[in-house]
A = this chain, B = another copy of it.
Amino acid sequence: MGIRFLTAGESHGPALSCIVEGLPAGLPISIEQINHDLYRRQTGYGAGARMKIERDTVQITGGIVNGVTIGAPVGMLVENLDWKNWQNKITPPQTIPRPGHADLAGATKYDLSDLRMVGERASARETAMRVAAGSLARQLLAQFNISVGSYVTEIGGEIAELATIPYEERFARAEASDVRVYDEASAEKIRQRIYAIMQQKETGGGVIETVALNLPVGLGSHVHWDRKLDGRLAQALMSIHSVKGVEIGNAFENARKLGTQAQDEIFLSPLPEGEGQGVRVTRDTNRAGGLEGGITNGEPLVIRAAFKPIATTLTPTHSIDVTTREPAMMIYQRSDLVHIPRACVITEAMVCLVLADAMLEKFGGDSLREMQAHFHAWNPTLPEMR
């Protein structure tokens, strides 16, 4: 059954919650690391006012005893500190849908006459629980030396330089940047672009590249459409608020190349020193983004997500009042202006969840020790000949 998770909670409700089912027992979990990931979701240049109101911290309600998983579902809770402020407010129903938001389609679907009932759940606040769940998955992956990081590649049309330095260094530099851009000159330009967007009472979109390192060969599969890892990753990323496009590697650019220029030739190299005699596969390029036939091929997994600008702008746009059935201008609600830097940790979380699920699918194991025993018992990088 792999890893399943459900999240609940509204933006101004009492709490967000999450249950993650399927983690192996014996996995040490650092609450600090979850809280650190939650913190990362709350910071970044361009974030809105809410981020200053509250600092999310997770409570574990089940599944972890003395800092270690016991095989049981993990229950997590993040209280909405803001809730008390809202509880006694009398808020008139929202009747003007924000174009680009779930408001209108959601209220029509769910027969809701107060559009706020849509936005409360459609809000990206929900992603706090995805980040918490993703942090559990990340801590499982770390036990197999797999790491997942990300950086911003463009915002508001300003495109960052992507120098080919090691990914770990990209992650570290992006982490140190308030716009999560690893090239410093680019970061400054993007910061200025964000500033200009905010000055214009506008919002801005962008692109995030998420990368997973040290994956074993063989996650995902070519044998059935819904086993392909690229499809599962695409769903996971596309399901993030305001993401409307996903590509593995530079897919849209690659679609314009000739066949021989769009693949990654296969070479052999001696094993690294200390790993004995023998050869390993190497590539000079990674156009496939680490996936061939929907299967990890041992190269870094690279996946890019395109975020549209947030729909809630200070500059009003045309809409309607669903009560009066008359034209009306959108009314601003507190929101981010440029959310791309903050969103990095969300893409990482979703990638971690998909990868942890794929790891369990391939290696099985009810405890971390069993999973590791399986992992070490069989993990080839080249097919064996018989």
Contacts and interface: CB of A to CB of B under 8 A. Distances in A.
A368 to B, nearest CB: 8
A108 B381 contact: yes
Contacts of A341: none
Interface centre among A4, A10, A95 (most CB of B within 10 A): A10
- Complex copy number for this chain: 4
Interface in A345-373: 350, 360-370, 373
B207 A255 contact: yes
Contacts of A67: none
Contact of A260 (B17, B224, B225, B313): B313
Nearest to A259: B203
A377 B376 contact: yes
Contacts of A382: 104, 108, 322, 325
A357 to B, nearest CB: 10
A120 B71 CA distance: 11
Nearest to A284: B318
A246 to B, nearest CB: 6
A349 to B, nearest CB: 11
Contacts of A99: 263-266
Given A100-B264, A100-B292, A70 B378 contact: no
Given A26-B111, A255-B206, A386-B113, A308 B266 contact: no
Interface in A1-34: 1-2, 4-10, 13-19, 21, 24-26
Contacts of A377: 373-374, 376-377
Given A14-B60, A25-B112, A101-B292, 7 more contacts: A6-B19, A17-B77, A70-B117, A71-B106, A72-B120, A157-B256, A202-B258
18 contacts: A1-B226, A8-B62, A9-B61, A70-B117, A71-B221, A99-B264, A99-B265, A100-B262, A104-B383, A105-B297, A108-B381, A109-B367, A111-B368, A231-B235, A244-B254, A245-B252, A251-B306, A376-B377
